[in-house]
Amino acid sequence: MPELPEVEVIRRRLWEAVHGRTVVETKLVRLSGRASIGTLHGVRIESVDRRGKFLLVGLSDRRSLLIHLGMTGDLYVVNDWRQAPRTTRAGFRLDDGRWLVFNDPRALGKLELVSLAEAAKKVQRLGVEPLSAEFTPELLASLARGRRQPVKPFLMDQRWVAGLGNIYAAEALFEAGIHPGHPVGSLSRARLARLHRLIVQVLERAIESMWNAAQDQQASWIEHTPVASVYRRAGQPCLRCGRPIQRMRQAGRSTYYCPGCQR
DNA sequence: AACACGACCTGGTAGC
DNA sequence: TGCTACCAGGTCGTGT
């Protein structure tokens, strides 16, 4: 489920819950395939950072837990191991008795324990952070220049801009009034500037609204996106013009858009 | 370059 | 109720 806003909210909740705590026991469950890690104990959690859709949990032994949540991953703290769901893949007991749980029903996530240098290297190939000062209309324009690729797959490619996934790419394009199939390189400067602004806005709004919602909940996943004007709304009327939202296939993924509002 | 497609995995739901 | 088919917020590798 996690794109940038979800991962960011998870990061903030995690930081509040675990910073300065020491891991005293590791439980690995169903941890095959993409997840690999040794056991972990006696190390203090010193930081929880995010880069794109990756979480980096910095440890006192100069190593880092590098986590990608895949499609269905979640990371949170429970008071008791018995509260961890059946689909849990790893758990870390903290020195206050609580458990940091990596829950991942579809098991498409990744969790690995690497050196700080290795972690840095792995996230190095990611593109610009869309909520950083580095992400400007000019940068977006220069990334787009000369590319004939449809704008939506372009936005979802983590090498250019890191953190947008299927939902927020579709939502930002709807807000910007841009058709997802429009070749990114032939969008006007003004439209790219508008897209830039709406990417930032859509992400910030989602973080804010989920962060507020997260204050009330202890451990459960924030169920749905606060901003879904088009995503998964095929056949339903567009909130702006009333025409039915369309679904199309792009690069193997569903794209939702309004044929009236998006050109 | 820009796709399509399959692999990796499991669960929810719509339709019969 | 039970079965099937399709859908799903991601990434990676291969083929065309």
Which of the following is catalytic: A13, A50, A53, A110? A53
Q: Is the CB of A180 under 7 A from strand C?
A: no
By DSSP bridging, strand A88-94 and strand A110-115 are unpaired
Tens of pLDDT, residues A146-196: 899 999 999 999 999 999 999 999 999 999 999 999 999 999 999 999 999
Check if A105 is active-site: no
The reply to whether A182 Cβ lies less than 7 angstroms from strand B is no
Model pTM?
Answer: 0.94
The residues facing A90 across adjacent strands are A28, A102
Residue A117 CA to residue A159 CA, distance in Å, equals 20
A65 close to A109: Cβ distance less than 8 angstroms: no
Is A6 tagged catalytic?
no
Nucleotides of B under 7 A from a protein CB: 1-6, 8-11
Measured in degrees and rounded to the nearest 5, phi and psi for residue A90 equal: -155, 150
Residue A94: what are its φ and ψ, rounded to 5°?
Answer: -95, 165
Is the CB of A109 within 7 Å of strand C? no
The string of pLDDT tens digits covering residues A76-91 is 999 999 999 989 999 9
Question: Phi then psi for A217, rounded to 5 degrees?
Answer: -110, 145
